[in-house]
Amino acid sequence: MRRALLLAFIQTALYSSVLAKFNPLHHSGPAAPYFNAPPQFGISDETPPGCVVDQAAYIVRHGARYPEPGGSVDGWESLFAKFQSSDYTASGSLAFMPSWTPAIDAMANEPLYLTTAGAMEAFNLGVELRQRYGLTQGGDNLTVWSASQQRVEDTASYFLDGYLSQGNFLLNKTLNRGTIVTLPDSVNFTFANSLTPGNGCPLYPTGDKSALANTFRASYQPAIAQRLNTMLDGLELNVTDIGPMMDLCGFQTVINGNKEFCGIFTDDEWLDYEYADDLNYYYGSGPGNPFSAVVGFPYVKAVTDLLVVGPNKTTNGSTIIPPNLLMSFTHDNNIPPIVSALGIWNESTVSPLSPTTPNTQRHFRSSFLVNFLGHIAIERLSCDQPLPFSVKHVAGQIVPRPGKSSDTKQYVRIRINDAPVPVPGCTSGPGSTCPLSDFADYVTERGKTIGNFVDVCGLKNVSNATSSVTFFTDFPPNSTVFTPLPEAM
């Protein structure tokens, strides 16, 4: 018995050590493929006993894409030219460099578009949410919302493919249809009523201090270049080569599964790389930008209002009946403003982020928020007493599941990349959730603190400027609607 227990302990320890192994792809910021964020607050990600999610809103970054032309692509091509234009010997973790070629083989078609991994990420999210919530019955239709760029629309389309069963419904064009409402980038006729509202706030760029990330990069990249040069005879790397090489870990992984660049750098170097991205988003589009919260608040207010109204409810005079699952797809820089508006991940002990010294206790981490398909969910839970140990059944009568009786109470839970995040000062509900009425009051008070989009963004003299998100219930100007699922032949 003692020997069996000892072996079990050793196996558990070995398994734990494997799980704890450092993974560079979990510290690669916006270049990281999607992964569920680890718990930061000790809250279970399971729906609390006695509760069901009867309504949810997700705002999602597009799935994994190819690099940007003129940006990352230029950096990769320069790196490739450098390694191909000299005679040198590479050893150790750089031994593959003489064989390396950039993972772009169709320049006219690939940059900025989804990779196959990105399509799979979106499809899998659709499958997961269909199974997790059960909010849509077979044959039901679903409307989702998307920013207008192709990679975002494609993400929405693949999500719908995963979420909706296509099977026998293909021959009936009224059943099991996915509809995408594509919103134009926020401009002088959309303003806050957009999935890219920062573009409609003229003062938003004035609060951008993301250049602090470049200063931090300059503090660690020279030492990396110096270390890597010990593995090269006849060629010398400089600091401008380090960023593209570290980016290639995530990007090559999502393009062709090649992780060779992930093994070049040490754990500490990856943590510095990640923190530079944290600074970029925190001070560029997150809480460190004083205009971030007002850019994100209209979305938060619109979602909160719909959660208060409840599922399966219509709005008088609306042109859209919002579904129980509100899915919005956008870009990385449009996710941090939601964090700012909600006032989460912003504890005084670790915020604002230091421009020079990473705090290991910080909650704001770009890898947990703006990795490919990174998302924030706001769930409405209906809860009552969990099932007792013994349940009596009367023939022909289905016993209501907990959370679906007439005595339920409603609560709100926030999840970032699946990990629950508490509403500041409001955790009295099951599983540290916030009572719905208290959450609505919290959002109202946040709005008073944050201010009005039109006023704060300097749009008072613009006659058609709006501070409200209404696209969930009404088609905004210049939006387009299409059904991406295959039609019957």
* CA separation for the pair 445, 123 (Å, rounded): 37
CA–CA separation, 287 and 340 (whole Å): 5
Instruction: Using alpha carbons, select from 349, 206, 330, 353 the residue that is nearest to residue 278.
Output: 353
Whether the ω angle into residue 352 lies within 30 degrees of 0, i.e. cis, is: yes
Dihedrals φ, ψ of 54, to 5°?
-105, 0
Residue 383: beta bridge partners? Answer: 51, 409
Structure tokens, 65: 């894409």
Does 332 qualify as catalytic in the annotation? yes
The one catalytic residue among 241, 247, 272, 332? 332
User: What are 150's two structure tokens?
Assistant: 């192709």
DSSP label at 21? Answer: S
Rounded to whole angstroms, what are the CA distances from 298 to 105, 286, 457? 41, 15, 13
Q: Which residue has the tokens 């600091």?
A: 239
Which one is catalytic: 27, 54, 62, 375?
62
Q: Which residues contact 152 (CB under 8 A, 6 or more apart)?
A: 62, 146, 329, 330, 331
Q: Is 95 helix (H, G, I), strand (E, B) or coil?
A: coil
CA distances from 49 to 178, 201, 404, 437 (A): 32, 43, 12, 21
Hey, what amino acid is at 395? A
Distance CA 266, CA 249 (A): 13
> What is the Cα–Cα distance from 362 to 275, expressed in whole angstroms?
10
- Residue 21's CB is within 10 A of a number of other CB atoms, namely 6
**Could you tell me where the beta strands, DSSP code E, fall in 296-336?**
325-330
Would you call 304 helix, strand, or coil by DSSP?
helix
- Residues 262 and 27: their CA atoms lie apart, in Å, by 11
d(Cα 71, Cα 261) in Å, to the nearest integer?
19
CA distance 123 to 396: 38
Query: Which residues does the annotation mark as catalytic?
Result: 62, 332
